[in-house]
Amino acid sequence: MNVGDGSISANDGGHDLKRRDLEIIAGMIADGSRALDIGCGDGALLDYLVHRKNVDARGIELSQAGVNSCVAHGLSVIQGDADTDLAYYPDHAFDYVVLTRTLQATRNPRDVVSQLVRIGHHAIVSFTNFGHWRVRLRLLTEGRMPVVGDDGYAWHDTPNIHLCTIRDFSLMCEDLGLTVRRAISLSRSGEGRELKSAGAAANLRGEEAIFLLTRE
């Protein structure tokens, strides 16, 4: 993995987005492009892309409540499952395919990532890093599974079924023959840093990671 190094400025995304990861992801998507947001939730990213970046943005959301909320705001969203429905999309139908905080809840993460880079010229994936030092410390000192991210799920009710680290994800991308165009780690405070590699330091410092991938 060979990408730049340094901190990420606040100008790398949209200031109207409440989540820092979505700000950075929005900054990766070119104006006027075509984008598919898988697991789009309430449509916050879609809404920003449509109205601020003139993107032809579509969404897939598993929950009916999320679909209803998006449609009520005039967004083009259908109900669908990342594990089963991506196979119906043609090759290179979009410039960007986005999967935020959803990969670890999928049944077959490797297959899903393969579908992302088939459907889009670029794939953007964000996920919680279970190699972060706070995760390791809690296991070491308390002997308990960590509660990570904004949702606060405990081990018995979390939707995450495939936990991974930044290093795990990077190795999977190598195995799939994917090129990492950018990789960014996020701290709890929202500070983002470009990663030169997915080594020990990246795993320890970043609570969340964002990867921009291509098949080329």
- Kindly indicate the confidence band of residue 7, based on its pLDDT and cuts at 50, 70 and 90: very low
Q: What is the pLDDT of residues 54-80, one digit of tens each?
A: 999 999 999 999 999 999 999 999 999
Structure tokens at 73: 């705001």
- Tell me the domains of the chain and their CATH numbers: 6-214 (3.40.50.150)
Instruction: Please give the span between the terminal C-alpha atoms of the chain, in angstroms, as a whole number.
Output: 13
Q: Quick one: average pLDDT of 112-121?
A: 98
Mean of per-residue pLDDT scores for the chain:
85
